[in-house]
Amino acid sequence: MIDRMVEGMVSLDIQGNIEYANKQALHLLNVSDACNNIWELCTQYSLQELQLEFQQTITQQCERHCEVLLALHQPVWLEIHMYPSIDGVTMMLRDITEKKEIEKTIQDNHLKHVLLNEAAHHIISADEPKPMLDQLFTKLADYLDLDIYFNYMYDKESNRLKLLNFQGISDDTAKEIEWLEFGEAVCGYVAESKVRMVVEHINKSDHPRVQLVKGFGIKTYACHPLISYGRLIGTLSFGSSKRSQFTQDELNMIEIICNQVAIALERFLFISELKRSKEEADKANKAKSDFLSMISHELRTPLNTIVGYTNILLECTNERLSSYQEHKLQRIEESSMRLLNLINTIINITSLDSHEPLLYVTRSINLGDIIPETILNIQNYAAIKNIRIIDQTQPFHNKCFLADPYRLTQVIHNLLSNAIKYNHDEGIVYISCEWNHSSMTLFIKDTGIGISDDEVKNIFSPFYRVFHLHYNIEGSGLGLTLSKKWIEEMNGSIDVTSKLGEGSTFSITLPLTNKENSK
Ligand code: ADP
């Protein structure tokens, strides 16, 4: 009956000699008869545990149990229950190898998932390739017993591979193997074939391709091509000097990680390409600004002389000039002044582009300081064009806001001048304003020709002018560009709404002073 039991049963004396074993126990322990000593069957690791439990069963005279790995013809996990007997211990044995294997697979899978998750996290959140790969390697090194990683990147100019990131070798050695030709060593071969290569037992191999890594004491090595959108961007390889091969599961995991790394590296390449393009564009823009600024300064000096001498001629030698000559001189003066204004505008725009420090400072002002004087200065021009200016801002003249008075006056002058210039005969220009708890908005509305929806988004761009079939209106296309830049420098904004044929409304919004805020 004892022989027909599912469990193995063994009687031991106090030395651990097997006095009796049923059929199942003989099978589990892989012995032919009951003449063995149980300790001889244990691995070193399980021996201690088993002996301890054995002693305690005897001394405490109570049931004990444990799970141990026995060193039989193949490893066997046994669950052992021990019961004290008159002259020793009786053990009940059950084979739990399968259960242990399932537990180990579950544990391994869990570890692999944790590792893959952590790897993905590093890859997604990294800002630079080197720290990303180093951190990744540290994580993988523990799990896979790695000693080395190489990341070669494809260098388009030389059509070779360049070692950009690595660990496990010195900087001097890295210098020696910095460049690889396509087809050279394992990485060069992988880059050429775009196929993963896994080499095992390198210490026993004489193949010329693996001699480089063999020289680093590497025994197993897995090299992956890094491919993004079908294009080779480099290779990534991992090597171990402690193991002779990776399992298929481990190789699969390395492959998943390499694919993620390829995407991340492609992202880094793209970002650095964007940065480079932006730097080049900034440089070109600066060169253009510098050139414009230099030319404008050079033009301004002789032009000032022309304006000055024209003035002198007009003022001092009036009597000796015929009215024809005087008229022509006035034309010279007008044109020179227009040219001078244009040059001054260009200088202002280019100096803003080069981020030169502002000459005028934003401070607390009120509308009363600005609006009446600006209207007065433009009144003549409005009268010539038969335009009426209606100021609706008087009730707010004492209210304070933040602005640079010189620049704001220029901007309002520019908007008023446009509202007159692009208006119909007998048109009207309204100036009004609105206040809220944090800002002030000034509106300059005209009843003029208006701007179409297509054009309105471009009018703040330098030199942009709307083409009008029926009107020939002079201008440079720079006034609004400069106005926008200046208002933004004052932490404000400028906007426009317009309807073709009906008129436009330009608005300037500026922050209030602290004093106003606290009211
Ligand atoms: P300019 O008036 O010297 O051409 P701006 O930069 O001041 O340059 O204006 C750019 C363009 O925007 C003008 O050419 C004009 O077509 C359009 N524009 C500006 N203000 C108005 C307005 N009040 N009404 C209609 N069009 C305008």
For the chain, how are helix, strand and coil distributed in percent, rounded to 5?
Answer: 50, 25, 25
Q: Are 233 and 153 in contact (CB under 8 A)?
A: yes
- Cβ(446) – ligand 1 distance below 6 Å: yes
Indicate whether 518 pLDDT > 80: no
Task: Count CB-CB contacts under 10 A for residue 133.
Answer: 24
445 alpha carbon to ligand 1 midpoint, in Å? 13
DSSP 3-state of 144: helix
pLDDT-based confidence at residue 153 (cuts at 50, 70, 90) = very high
Q: What is the C-alpha to C-alpha distance for residues 66 and 399, in angstroms, rounded to an integer?
A: 88
**CA nearest neighbour of 225 among 174, 266, 189:** 189
**CA nearest neighbour of 15 among 36, 33, 31, 30:** 36
476 alpha carbon to ligand 1 midpoint, in Å? 9
- pLDDT by residue (tens digit) across 440-464? 999 999 999 999 999 999 999 988 8
pLDDT-based confidence at residue 515 (cuts at 50, 70, 90) = very low
390 alpha carbon to ligand 1 midpoint, in Å? 20
The highest-confidence range among 71-85, 133-147, 247-261, 446-460, by mean pLDDT, is 446-460
Position 519 scores a pLDDT of 43
Position 29 scores a pLDDT of 83
Q: What are the distances in angstroms from CA 435 to CA 103, 440, 505, 506?
A: 72, 5, 17, 16
Residue nearest to atom 19 of ligand 1 (CA): 418
- Mean pLDDT (whole number) for 464-484: 82
pLDDT-based confidence at residue 38 (cuts at 50, 70, 90) = confident
- Mean pLDDT (whole number) for 326-349: 83
> Which of 120-134, 217-231, 315-329 shows the lowest per-residue confidence on average (mean pLDDT)?
315-329
User: How many helices (H) and strands (E) are present in the chain, helices listed first?
Assistant: 14, 18
Backbone angles phi, psi at 166, to 5 degrees: -165, 165
The better pLDDT of the pair 352, 62 is held by 62
Helices (H), ranges, 181-247: 185-193, 211-214
Torsion (CA) 177, 180, 186, 191 in degrees, nearest 10: 140
Q: Which residues pair with 440 in a beta bridge?
A: 435, 510
475 alpha carbon to ligand 1 midpoint, in Å? 8
> Which of 201-210, 252-261, 341-350, 362-371 shows the lowest per-residue confidence on average (mean pLDDT)?
341-350
Q: What are the distances in angstroms from CA 180 to CA 138, 184, 221?
A: 25, 6, 17
- pLDDT by residue (tens digit) across 361-375? 778 899 998 999 999
- Cβ(420) – ligand 1 distance below 6 Å: no
**CA nearest neighbour of 11 among 85, 119, 113, 104:** 85
Indicate whether 470 pLDDT > 90: no
- pLDDT by residue (tens digit) across 274-300? 999 999 998 888 888 788 778 877 888
The better pLDDT of the pair 419, 363 is held by 419
* Angle formed by the axes of helices 323-353 and 248-316, nearest 10°: 160
Mutating to test ligand 1, I would choose from 345, 418, 421, 485 the residue with most ligand atoms within 8 A of its C-beta, which is 418
Position 181 scores a pLDDT of 95
β-pairing verdict for 75-84 and 88-95? antiparallel
β-pairing verdict for 197-199 and 75-84? unpaired
- Cβ(387) – ligand 1 distance below 6 Å: no
Percentage of residues in the chain with pLDDT exceeding 70?
94
465 alpha carbon to ligand 1 midpoint, in Å? 6
- Cβ(478) – ligand 1 distance below 6 Å: yes
pLDDT-based confidence at residue 342 (cuts at 50, 70, 90) = confident
Mutating to test ligand 1, I would choose from 415, 422, 445, 483 the residue with most ligand atoms within 8 A of its C-beta, which is 422
- Mean pLDDT (whole number) for 183-189: 95
Q: What is the C-alpha to C-alpha distance for residues 250 and 241, in angstroms, rounded to an integer?
A: 16
Task: Count CB-CB contacts under 10 A for residue 7.
Answer: 16
- Cβ(448) – ligand 1 distance below 6 Å: yes
> Which of 216-220, 226-230, 297-301 shows the lowest per-residue confidence on average (mean pLDDT)?
297-301
510 alpha carbon to ligand 1 midpoint, in Å? 22
pLDDT-based confidence at residue 302 (cuts at 50, 70, 90) = confident
Q: Are 221 and 199 in contact (CB under 8 A)?
A: yes
Q: What are the distances in angstroms from CA 168 to CA 95, 134, 140, 150, 151?
A: 44, 11, 13, 9, 12
Q: What is the C-alpha to C-alpha distance for residues 159 and 182, in angstroms, rounded to an integer?
A: 8
Indicate whether 430 pLDDT > 60: yes
Position 514 scores a pLDDT of 53
Sign of the Cα torsion 94, 98, 99, 100 reads positive
* Ligand 1 atom nearest to 468, measured from its CA: 16
The better pLDDT of the pair 285, 389 is held by 389
* Ligand 1 atom nearest to 477, measured from its CA: 8
Q: Are 379 and 357 in contact (CB under 8 A)?
A: no
The amino acid at residue 357 is: P
> Which of 33-47, 166-180, 258-272 shows the lowest per-residue confidence on average (mean pLDDT)?
33-47
What would the DSSP string read from start to end of 64-93?
Answer: EEEEEEEESSSEEEEEEEEEE-SSEEEEEE
- Cβ(429) – ligand 1 distance below 6 Å: no
- Cβ(475) – ligand 1 distance below 6 Å: yes
268-275 long-range contacts (CB < 8 A, ≥24 apart) are 268/128, 268/129, 269/233
- Mean pLDDT (whole number) for 463-490: 84
Q: Are 220 and 128 in contact (CB under 8 A)?
A: no
Residue nearest to atom 7 of ligand 1 (CA): 479
pLDDT-based confidence at residue 516 (cuts at 50, 70, 90) = very low
133 alpha carbon to ligand 1 midpoint, in Å? 55
- Cβ(265) – ligand 1 distance below 6 Å: no
Q: Are 41 and 58 in contact (CB under 8 A)?
A: no
Q: What is the C-alpha to C-alpha distance for residues 187 and 181, in angstroms, rounded to an integer?
A: 9
418 alpha carbon to ligand 1 midpoint, in Å? 6
Residue nearest to atom 12 of ligand 1 (CA): 459
- Cβ(418) – ligand 1 distance below 6 Å: yes
Position 482 scores a pLDDT of 87
Q: Which residues pair with 84 in a beta bridge?
A: 89
- Cβ(465) – ligand 1 distance below 6 Å: yes
- Cβ(217) – ligand 1 distance below 6 Å: no
Indicate whether 360 pLDDT > 70: no
DSSP state of 509: E
pLDDT-based confidence at residue 152 (cuts at 50, 70, 90) = very high
